[in-house]
């Protein structure tokens, strides 16, 4: 098996402090994989990966820059609401992109994070994946969403 090198975009945008926050966020919430995309320094209509936890290099490269509306993170940014998938591996909605299945996540969610001073300004999208199927409740989404807001301490 050949190893995949991280591309220049991933290396340029990676932020160690976000990776550290994300590792703690994933552990606190019982997941095994996570990501953080920011709306800045992205171009208009895109979000960029700045933090990851347990994402294979091929997935990091493939999600380095995401158009708004594509995949789970891009869809959360577009809808301005959490996106949940109970079983990422068998999802047929079109939101779960095939390349993302390499992560091995089953229950998955992405959470948009807005500027506390301007709830129309998207700052980040935080992704969290679990190794088992999950049916997320409104209470779960509130809990994970509140915790995702703590990313503001490192961005």
* CA–CA gap between residue 58 and residue 108 (Å, rounded): 18
pLDDT of residue 18: 98
Q: Which residues contact 56 (CB under 8 A, 6 or more apart)?
A: 4, 102, 103
Instruction: Please provide the CATH number assigned to the domain covering 8-153.
Output: 3.30.450.40
pLDDT of residue 54: 95
pLDDT of residue 97: 66
Instruction: From first to last of the 155 residues of the chain, give the pLDDT tens digit.
Output: 557 899 999 999 999 999 999 999 999 999 999 999 999 988 899 999 999 999 999 999 999 999 999 999 999 999 999 999 998 778 778 777 666 666 778 889 999 999 999 999 999 999 999 999 999 999 999 999 999 999 999 99
pLDDT of residue 102: 62
For the sheet with 118-129, list strands across it.
65-67, 46-53, 33-38, 118-129, 108-115, 83-85
Q: Which residue has the tokens 């109970």?
A: 86
pLDDT of residue 100: 62
pLDDT of residue 98: 66
pTM, rounded to two decimals: 0.94
Domain boundaries, the chain: 8-153
pLDDT of residue 105: 82
pLDDT of residue 75: 96
Q: At 34, phi and psi to the nearest 5?
A: -160, 170
């Amino acid at each position: 098996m050949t190893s995949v090198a991280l591309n220049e975009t991933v290396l340029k945008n990676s932020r160690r402090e976000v990776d550290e926050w994300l590792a703690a966020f994933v552990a606190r919430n019982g997941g095994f994989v996570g990501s953080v995309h920011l709306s800045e320094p992205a171009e208009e209509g895109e979000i960029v990966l700045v933090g990851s936890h347990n994402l294979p290099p091929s997935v990091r490269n493939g999600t380095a820059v995401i158009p708004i509306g594509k995949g789970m993170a891009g869809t959360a940014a577009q809808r301005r609401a959490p996106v949940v998938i109970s079983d990422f591996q068998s999802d047929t909605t079109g939101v779960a992109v095939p390349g993302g299945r390499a992560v091995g996540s089953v229950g998955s969610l992405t959470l948009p994070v807005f500027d506390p001073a301007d709830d129309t300004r998207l700052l980040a999208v935080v992704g969290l994946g679990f190794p088992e199927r999950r049916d997320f409740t409104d209470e779960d989404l509130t809990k994970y969403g509140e915790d995702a807001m703590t990313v503001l301490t490192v961005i």
